[in-house]
A and B are shown apart, each in its own frame.
Chain A
Amino acid sequence: MLVIVTLVMQGIGEVKENLSTTQMLKGILDGCLLAIIKDKEVYGYELAEKLESYGFHSFSEGTIYPLLMRMQKEELVTTTLKKSTAGPRRKYYSLTPKGEAELEMFIERWNYLQTNVNRVLRHESDSEHLKGDETDE
């Protein structure tokens, strides 16, 4: 398990002092949020629902907001306020060019990770080090 966690953390480039599963999940959630937003302009609740519909059931829906706030600060997403028929104003998120580039990078990292993790799980050897060096591929 530790091997996988380390690999994931290195791949996502978010090695912090405390490796926890929630942190690991965060980096992945970031990528998923970007991917969903790319498809269609969405607001927070919709985004949470979509994530759940893809099978992420155990997370607290509110966790997406701090992530969205950071992504907005990093100019990966922009927001617009729109009135809904139901009454409340909704904040819609859409991807910036920078966000699209980040998504591309995430997909690359994820594919790389996935391949390596799968290899670990199937005990296949790549004949090279699996230390997470980008040059390994």
Chain B
Amino acid sequence: MNSELKLSDKSREFLDHLRVYLFSSGKHSDEIEEIVEELEVHLFEAEKNGKPIEKIIGKSPKEYMEMVSNEMATDYRSWIKTISLIVFGSFSFTIFSDLMKGNLSYSVLEIVGHLVIGAVFIAAIATGFKYISATNLSIKKQGLLVTAIMILPIALFVGLIYANRAIDTPVIHFGTTASMIIGGITALFIIGASFWAKTWILLIVVALLTLPDFLLGLTPLTHEAQLMISPWITFGGIGLYLWLSLSWSRKNGK
């Protein structure tokens, strides 16, 4: 990539928005970088010659983004990758923390609800980010929208918990062997997905969420002390991982 060219804020903002728009439209990331870089060079030279950005992208940035997007192939492979990571990732959190407590049992509503929430969340992210990048919203409104999108799955999960108490659907009980098999499959899935996506975040977060409770339970510490220590390990561990991976990726020149 170019070292940052000197561009007006308006052009820089447009390029950022274009990148997000194309990304949330599911385009190949190297193709996105290619067109963004090409437009960056164009805007740079145009600005040097005193042309306004409207002369390049027309009056409607949204229309222009759509035009570019239409010419690019959708990267279904990474889409499926991301979607299955989110859906099965959220499953694996539940499965592992439940496994630590004993055998698994889920109602039909829980299973279906999980899948639906995963789908809703993904749809909300994709449309939300596309909307934000194509329209001129104030930072405040953008923040509000992103927060709303992030809260949405949490609200839906809370709703699901209550709905699950109120509505009786058949419950599927898994015996010890079945629970162990499911646990094994999930573990294999997480490890496989991590290799595939080339990131350890899922594995590490699942481990940090489930293992501290389990391991602390083996220590002679009081229940209260365990409850206090466990979140520290979880969040401290996640923070440490993010920090390490950030400094690692910086060192690698990106």
Which secondary structure characterizes the binding site on chain B?
helix
Also in contact, A60 and B5, with CB within 8 A (given A48-B42, A65-B68): no
Also in contact, A66 and B2, with CB within 8 A (given A45-B46, A61-B46, A61-B55): no
CB-defined contacts of A45 to chain B, threshold 8 Å: 41-42, 45-46
Also in contact, A60 and B55, with CB within 8 A (given A45-B42, A88-B40, A88-B44): yes
> B45 → chain A, closest Cβ, in Å?
5
Q: Is the CB of A73 within 8 A of B71?
A: yes
Q: Is the CB of A62 within 8 A of B39?
A: yes
B: interface residue count bin: 20 to 34
Q: Is the CB of B5 within 8 A of A87?
A: yes
A38 at interface (Cβ–Cβ under 8 A)? no
> B27 → chain A, closest Cβ, in Å?
11
A: interface residue count bin: 10 to 19
Q: How far is the CA of A133 from the CA of B64 in the complex (A)?
A: 35
Q: Is the CB of B2 within 8 A of A65?
A: no
Q: How far is the CA of A27 from the CA of B16 in the complex (A)?
A: 30
Q: Is the CB of A61 within 8 A of B56?
A: yes
Give 6 closest A-B pairs by Cβ, nearest first: A60-B58, A69-B71, A66-B71, A45-B45, A88-B41, A62-B57
B13 at interface (Cβ–Cβ under 8 A)? no
Beta-carbon nearest neighbor of A89 in chain B = B2
Q: Is the CB of A66 within 8 A of B55?
A: no
Q: Is the CB of A69 within 8 A of B68?
A: yes
> B105 → chain A, closest Cβ, in Å?
52
> A73 → chain B, closest Cβ, in Å?
7
Contact of A65 (CB < 8 Å), options: B35, B45, B51 = B35
Interface string of A42-67 (1 = CB under 8 A from B): 01110010000000000011110110
A109 at interface (Cβ–Cβ under 8 A)? no
Q: Is the CB of B57 within 8 A of A60?
A: yes
> A42 → chain B, closest Cβ, in Å?
12
